[in-house]
Amino acid sequence: MNSRTRSLVSRKGISSIVAENKYRRIEKIKSLITRNYEIQIAQPTDHSFRTSSELVNIIIPAREQRHKLAIFAHHDVYPGSKGYNDNSSGVVTLLGIQNGLPEDVELVFTDGEENGGQGCRFYLESNPTPSEAINVDVVGLAGKIFYERYGDLPTIEIPSA
């Protein structure tokens, strides 16, 4: 992890993308994308995709699409929240790992998670389906990090070293 990555994946890094206005937050995220790829801004342009708000997904596409791994983090926040943990922590995690990833990894910053996962659904309906996907959400809470898997397994707290 280089010094830029270390400084981004921190309280200061999380604070650097927090903004009251959704579009200001999007601009801050875009300004921190350093992976040498053509980023895509994806928005529904017709009425075939029903959404309760204007969605704005930011995608750093994989150069190799055939067996891509998509890593997601949502950039929208719960109304009235500044979104430090949910989910600015996930966004800066993706920004922190963006360089040095294999060519088949796609980073996707979705919108509308707090509205039923609309941005993720829009991505999956509008893009080639990834072979695998990881969702990075609520990376830390105070001094704790949690791992959660949907299904029968409970949430597990990862103890500090």
- Classify residue 79: in a domain, yes or no: yes
Give all strands of the β-sheet with 69-74 in edge-to-edge order.
40-42, 57-60, 105-110, 69-74, 132-135
Q: Looking at the domain assignment, is residue 148 inside a domain? A: no
pLDDT > 50? residue 117: yes
The pLDDT tens digits of the residues spanning 135-159 come to: 998 876 555 555 444 455 444 444 4
In a domain, residue 20? The reply is yes
Domain tally, the chain: 1
Q: Across residues 51-64, what is the average pLDDT?
A: 87
Among 22-31, 34-43, 92-101, whose mean pLDDT is lowest?
A: 34-43
Residue 59 inside a domain? The answer is: yes
Read off the CATH number of the domain in which 101 is found. 3.40.630.10
Count other Cβ atoms within 10 Å, centred on residue 153: 9
Rounded CA-CA distance 95/135 in Å is 14
Name residue 59's beta-bridge partners: 40, 108
Helix (H) or strand (E) holding 41: strand 40-42
Q: SS in 3 state form for 63-125? A: CCCCCCEEEEEECCCCCCCCCHHHHHHHHHHHHHHCCCCCCCEEEEEECCHHHCCHHHHHHHH
Whether pTM > 0.85 for this model: the answer is no
Q: Domain containing 57: what range?
A: 3-134
